[in-house]
């Protein structure tokens, strides 16, 4: 007994639930423009602070659950806001490392250096912001011994009439 093929409706719904739509070209370019590659500067700052203040000079910013949009609903639930107000955490709270680490992360000399560096255009380069669109963008066509369409013109009869359907080419036939 032969198996029946899956219905087109089922295949379509599987396809739609399985794959997300590709972002538009404008959205890809916007994402690539926002990408900042400041690994050299961050590495230097991290090495400088690793001896004196290792927790504060961390490359990875400290986690603050009140700024995490995935758990925002918890902090809006009924019993939580009064507790946050009593403990003094209602204005955004602090990270897991405390207020000093937060201040260092956003208001220290290193933070201002990185912010001014990236706002002035450092950390962005054409190679990194143009992304995958640069891959193979400057490849020249390979023209073989018999020309661009050499495989079609390697015998006298094909040189006279390369196709029975007509020629759709701007290059010379011979």
171 and 148 housed in the same domain = yes
109 and 56 housed in the same domain = yes
What pLDDT, on the 0 to 100 scale, is given for residue 95? 87
Domain membership flag for residue 149: yes
What is the radius of gyration, based on Cα positions, of the chain? 30
Domain membership flag for residue 103: yes
Question: How far is residue 150 CA from its own chain's centroid?
Answer: 41
34 and 58 housed in the same domain = yes
Write down the pTM of the prediction.
Answer: 0.47
Per-residue confidence of the chain (174 residues) as pLDDT tens digits? 455 555 555 545 555 556 778 889 899 888 877 777 777 788 888 888 888 877 777 777 888 899 898 998 999 898 999 999 998 888 888 888 888 888 888 888 888 888 888 777 776 666 655 666 677 777 777 766 656 555 556 677 776 776 667 666 666 655
104 and 91 housed in the same domain = no
Domain membership flag for residue 10: no
| DSSP result, 20-73 | PPPPPHHHHHHHHHH----HHHHHHHHHHHHHH-TTTT-SSPPP-GGG-GGGHH
Rounded to whole angstroms, the Cα distance separating 61 from 50 reads 14
What pLDDT, on the 0 to 100 scale, is given for residue 148? 58
What pLDDT, on the 0 to 100 scale, is given for residue 168? 63
Q: How many domains does the chain have?
A: 3
What pLDDT, on the 0 to 100 scale, is given for residue 38? 76
32 and 115 housed in the same domain = yes
């Amino acid at each position: 007994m032969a198996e029946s093929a899956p219905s087109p409706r089922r295949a379509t719904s599987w396809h739609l639930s399985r794959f997300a739509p590709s972002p538009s070209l404008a959205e890809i370019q916007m994402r690539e423009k926002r990408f900042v590659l400041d690994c050299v500067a961050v590495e230097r700052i991290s090495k400088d602070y690793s001896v004196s203040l290792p927790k504060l000079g961390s490359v990875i910013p400290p986690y603050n659950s009140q700024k995490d949009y995935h758990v925002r609903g918890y902090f809006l639930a009924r019993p939580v806001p009064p507790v946050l107000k009593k403990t003094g955490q209602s204005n955004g709270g602090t990270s897991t490392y405390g207020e000093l680490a937060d201040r260092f992360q956003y208001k220290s000399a290193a933070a201002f250096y990185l912010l001014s560096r990236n706002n002035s255009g450092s950390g962005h380069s054409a190679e990194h912001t143009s992304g995958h669109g640069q891959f193979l963008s400057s490849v020249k066509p390979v023209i073989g011994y018999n020309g661009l369409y050499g495989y079609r013109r390697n015998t006298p009869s094909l040189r006279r009439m390369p196709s029975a359907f007509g020629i759709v080419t701007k290059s010379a036939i011979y």
